[in-house]
Structure 1
Amino acid sequence: MENSQDDRVREHVRTRYAEIAKTSDSCCSTGCCSPATLGNAAFSTRLGYTKDELARVPEGSNMGLGCGNPQTIAALKPGEVVLDLGSGGGFDCFLAARQVGDDGQVIGVDMTPEMIAKSRNNARQSELKNVEFRLGEIEHLPVADNSVDVIMSNCVINLSPAKEQVFREAYRVLRPGGRLAISDVVAISPLPEHIKNDVDAHCGCVTGAATITNIEQLLKQAGFASVSVIVQETSDAFIRDWFPGSGVEQHVRAAAITAYK
């Protein structure tokens, strides 16, 4: 029964983000994929991206779907292999590709065929040759064991109903010494029932948020060490805009999450 419910949640998320990929506008009226954030450069600067970064990616790749800037915590180095979980239009992948250089590689994985088509089209607009996009679920990564130096993700793992499996897969594909560097939403207090039971709030990066303690436990159980979850207290300012008037910003925050294999 639980697996059936997980599948329903996953399919609903897939459908919603497919609509975003196809329309690049209001597939959902609220949440981290609301019209106010989609492709909105002003919103992206609030997440920590610079105007220079925004100007250096293919048009259409910045879809305004994040809750932070994983580039700022990943500390990417030339020659590294980077994996982006839930790569969307490829925004973070294109930025990472420039940082790791020609000797590095960036792999984006997304479960939505429409997003993969969009990101591959965006890649064709770019001169970058060290980035590729693969269709797959982050719970079942199409990536070889011990092949990745860094895993990034931006407001995606909260959408998964099987976070423990996501972290196990992340551990599997990382090389020894590899690191996890993600921006995601975490729960700082229990959500009200009317929000908790709203499937749109799940797609909007809210109801799937795990607690800090839960995230720390899941990462350690997967094998990770030096786990850190740093809450971005000022993120309530933009989270408030996801579901105006709901008070959701009192219950969730964006966080920078790091861990090492």
Structure 2
Amino acid sequence: METNKDKKELVKQQYSQLALNGDLLKSSCGCGTNPAKPSKKVFTIMSEDYSHLKGYEADADLGVGCGLPTEYAGLKEGYTVIDLGSGAGNDCFIARAEVGESGKVIGIDFSIPMLEKARKNAAKRGYTNVEFKEGDIEEMPIPDNTADVVVSNCVLNLLPEKNKIFKEIYRVLKSGGHFCISDVVLNGVFPKEFTDNASMYAGCIASAIQKEDYLGEIEKANFTDIKIERTKTVVIPDEVLQENLDEATIIKYKAGNVGIYSITVTGVKA
């Protein structure tokens, strides 16, 4: 039986592979299937268009987000922003465009290849107020009361201990600070064979939890003014299911009528 540590190591391996093969996989589905084995079809979860946003950098966009959290984050000039699971740096660079030269952006990721890619992207552009730190989101290498805003894009669902994550977000936020997170949640229960599948877990679908439980973890971390800013239905194409699951499991999954959603949620540290 896989432990939480095993699951995290699986995610780290998959996303390190995505960083190494980023150019090859850029148009593939990185959320919901094995990033090292591109699907021919892209999930609707991957259809977010960042290109119109100020600060967008095409070579930092690996196409694995499930929302546009910076659009709802209320970023202002001079803010300090932390991006959890910063990947190749896309959301960090967009946040930097909002907080300006007087602000600061800190990306946290546990994948060394991703960090190397992000740091190269920042150095290439001469950004001096964007920093990428190696670290575990469940135990951030960040002092208390550091950030005005915490953002994250389709990352927290990948990790098994959501309760620790939201407590950590609360800790690193300044009093009156807030978070804005896009993530995947469920309404209904997957077959066990689905959730036990390594590729589906690492792809952020099988690792997602029930929407009510997700919001409950936010409440238990003492956040106030919790709002769902946006909801989007996620559809898994048949060919992605067929690449990763046997026919019996697919039938069980479809019979269960599980709702999969991308939500963008905000909350405030009082």
TM above 0.5 = yes
Displacement, 1:90? Answer: 0.3
Quote the residue 1:257 is aligned against. Answer: 265
Superposed CA RMSD: 2.8
| 2:164 counterpart letter in structure 1 | Q
| 2:264 counterpart letter in structure 1 | A
Displacement, 1:230? Answer: 5.0
Judging changes above 3 Å, is the alpha-carbon distance between structure 1 residues 90 and 8 closer, same or farther for their aligned structure 2 residues? same
Question: Partner of 1:53: helix, strand, or coil?
Answer: coil
Alignment check: 8 A CA contact 1:88 1:110 kept: yes
Q: 1:25-174, aligned counterparts within 5 Å? A: 25-26=24-25, 31=32, 33=35, 35=38, 46-49=47-50, 51-53=51-53, 56-174=55-173
Alignment check: 8 A CA contact 1:71 1:96 kept: yes
Judging changes above 3 Å, is the alpha-carbon distance between structure 1 residues 232 and 81 closer, same or farther for their aligned structure 2 residues? same
The 4+ residue runs of structure 1 with deviation greater than 4 A are 26-30, 244-250
Larger CA Rg, structure 1 vs 2: 2
Name the TM-score, length of structure 2 as normaliser. Answer: 0.84
Alignment check: 8 A CA contact 1:70 1:154 kept: yes
Query: Counterparts of 2:31 and 2:163 in 1: how far apart (Å)?
Result: 27
Name the TM-score, length of structure 1 as normaliser. Answer: 0.86
Give the length in aligned residue pairs: 252
Displacement, 1:242? Answer: 8.6
Query: Counterparts of 2:218 and 2:64 in 1: how far apart (Å)?
Result: 24
Cα deviation 1:39-95 (Å, max 9, x = unaligned): x9x986x3252x3338x4445210001111111111211111000000000000001
Displacement, 1:231? Answer: 5.6
Judging changes above 3 Å, is the alpha-carbon distance between structure 1 residues 29 and 164 closer, same or farther for their aligned structure 2 residues? closer
Query: Counterparts of 2:224 and 2:198 in 1: how far apart (Å)?
Result: 33
Judging changes above 3 Å, is the alpha-carbon distance between structure 1 residues 146 and 29 closer, same or farther for their aligned structure 2 residues? closer
Query: Counterparts of 1:85 and 1:193 in 2: how far apart (Å)?
Result: 28
Q: Which runs of 5+ in 2 are unaligned?
A: 243-249
Residue 199 in 1 paired to residue 198 in 2?
A: yes
Q: Determine what percentage of the aligned residue pairs are the same residue.
A: 33
Quote the residue 1:182 is aligned against. Answer: 181
Question: Partner of 2:59: helix, strand, or coil?
Answer: coil
Displacement, 1:236? Answer: 2.5
